[in-house]
Amino acid sequence: MQADRLPPHDLSAEESVLGSILIDGMSLTQVTGFLAADDFYREINRQVFEACYELVQRDEAINQVTVTHELENKDLLESIGGAAYLSHLVEVTPTSVHIEHYANLVHRTATMRRLIAAAGDIADIGYNNDPDVDIALSAAEDALFGIRQGSQNRDFVPLSETLNTYLESSGGLDEDEDGKPTAPITTGYNRLNEIMVGGLQRSDMVVLAARPSVGKSMMGLNFTLAAALAGKTVGIFSLEMGREQIALRMLAAQSTVNMQRLRTGLLSPDEETKRVNSIGLLSDLSIYVDDTPFQTVAEMRGKARRLQMVHDLDFLIVDYMQLINGGSAGGREGNRAQEVSEISRQMKGMARDLHIPVLAISQLSRAVEHRTSHRPMLSDLRESGSIEQDADVVMFIHREDKFTTEDEWTKANPTEPYPRDRASLIIAKHRNGPTDEVEMRVRDSIGVFEELSFQTQPAQQFAPRSGAVR
């Protein structure tokens, strides 16, 4: 009877997961989105998985030799049964093809164990006999909610699924010799495309940086719409905004209807027509949003790889870089600068690995606000100079009206008009081309940057609708 009361576990599935990883190191990326080391019941299996995960965090190969060396460095090889146990894992696994099935079994039994533990915690809450019933019930709910949150396997969700809630409520590719597309991804802005030699180049890591509330996410979504309307598949890792907010912003940009009016539903007949038509158009686009917070780059790469295998991913956006979980790679806990350096390096590796441009949105330091000239510089990139080193392109958004009032501007520049709703997109670093600057008009109410002095692509492109400077 005691055996019947053992916590749920499946050692065969655990060994099959590890054996699959040792057979094919890249198969780890298929399960990093939902499987963690804590999901393993047997301690030695947990240690082997952690060793494999740290190798992939460092972009190193995973096989019996490298895992053996990693465990040796941690003084864990003997405790797990030596190299013989790793050989055993490979022998009992016929193929790595079914790793997701094995991993789901491991994750399911781990969830059941967490449920048992939560039941014990809830029993303790009851025995404590707290005089405040509401506090006790809230604590019990938190115990169960924590399990549900942890077991949710959130992944990319088509934008069309999110946009449906708003209805219910008030060119060929150039390819290389291997068949991989080589054509750049359009930004939606002619002048910027010209500077970027046709657009965002494949395998490039592009950093878009600015101070808070200047429009980093807005510009990223503008790039997303332009690429998707050109027939590309775009993935968005949103670590700050939920996918509902992203959908609303895109809807406002496409329909040119005030975002606040869309949020309240108080629309004129003409605006309602624009809303419905825009939802129809956006739902047909290949845009996928993952709004899981505090992800690691390894988790992102695994999800992006799966998205590319299924939907031919062309462009990836990460919003934003400083919210990425650095994990425990290389034992760098406590040193955020080193963590960001590692994150930056891994993101560049992800761009090359997936053969797509990766747009990493980043914060700038407060040094911008303390200078007489508020124009950002490369040294303002927050927390690590490695971002500048790893990036192929670094772009800054500068809006003087965010730093200077109209009175202050008039005193300092009496002959120049106040730059209200004006922005400069500064290309401060360009590994394969010139640096330059693109002048923009900002329409905050609909979430759109409009290029000045250049006509953008017509057709059914969303709004960057530009005109000449007057």
pLDDT of residue 380: 76
Higher pLDDT, 153 or 146: 146
Q: Does residue 207 sit in the same domain as residue 252? A: yes
Overall domain count for the chain: 2
pLDDT of residue 461: 46
18 within a domain of the structure (yes/no): yes
242 within a domain of the structure (yes/no): yes
Where do we find the tokens 């202050």? 408
Whether the pLDDT of residue 287 is over 70: the answer is yes
pLDDT of residue 21: 92
Q: How confident is the model at residue 453 (pLDDT cuts 50, 70, 90)?
A: low
Q: In Å, how far are 172, 186, 441, 457 from 467, measured between CA atoms?
A: 29, 19, 10, 12
Q: Does residue 75 sit in the same domain as residue 179? A: no
40 within a domain of the structure (yes/no): yes
CATH number at residue 132: 1.10.860.10
Q: How confident is the model at residue 16 (pLDDT cuts 50, 70, 90)?
A: very high
Cis check for the bond before 320: say yes or no (omega within 30 of 0). Answer: yes
CATH number at residue 285: 3.40.50.300
Where in the sequence is the domain holding 384, given as residue range(s)? 157-451
Burial label for 244, CB within 10 Å (0-12, 13-18, 19+), is middle
The yes-or-no answer on residue 406 being catalytic is no
460 within a domain of the structure (yes/no): no
92 within a domain of the structure (yes/no): yes
For the ranges 22-36, 138-152, 295-309, 327-341, the lowest mean pLDDT is seen at 327-341
Span 36-91, pLDDT tens digits: 888 999 999 999 999 998 888 888 888 999 999 999 998 998 898 888 999 999 99
pLDDT of residue 332: 44
DSSP state of 239: S
Cα separation, 223 vs 229, whole angstroms = 10
Catalytic residue among 240, 244, 272, 437: 240
Q: Does residue 267 sit in the same domain as residue 387? A: yes
466 within a domain of the structure (yes/no): no
Percent of the chain with pLDDT over 90: 18
Whether the pLDDT of residue 334 is over 60: the answer is no
Whether the pLDDT of residue 364 is over 60: the answer is yes
Q: Does residue 210 sit in the same domain as residue 292? A: yes
Q: How confident is the model at residue 109 (pLDDT cuts 50, 70, 90)?
A: very high
**pTM for this structure?**
0.68
pLDDT of residue 261: 87
Cα separation, 11 vs 4, whole angstroms = 16
Whether the pLDDT of residue 456 is over 50: the answer is no
Residue type, 231: G
**Mean pLDDT over the full length of the chain:** 82
Q: In Å, how far are 158, 175, 195, 421 from 443, measured between CA atoms?
A: 26, 37, 23, 7
| Tokens describing residue 352 | 């090359």
210 within a domain of the structure (yes/no): yes
Higher pLDDT, 225 or 131: 225
Span 256-275, pLDDT tens digits: 888 888 888 888 889 889 88
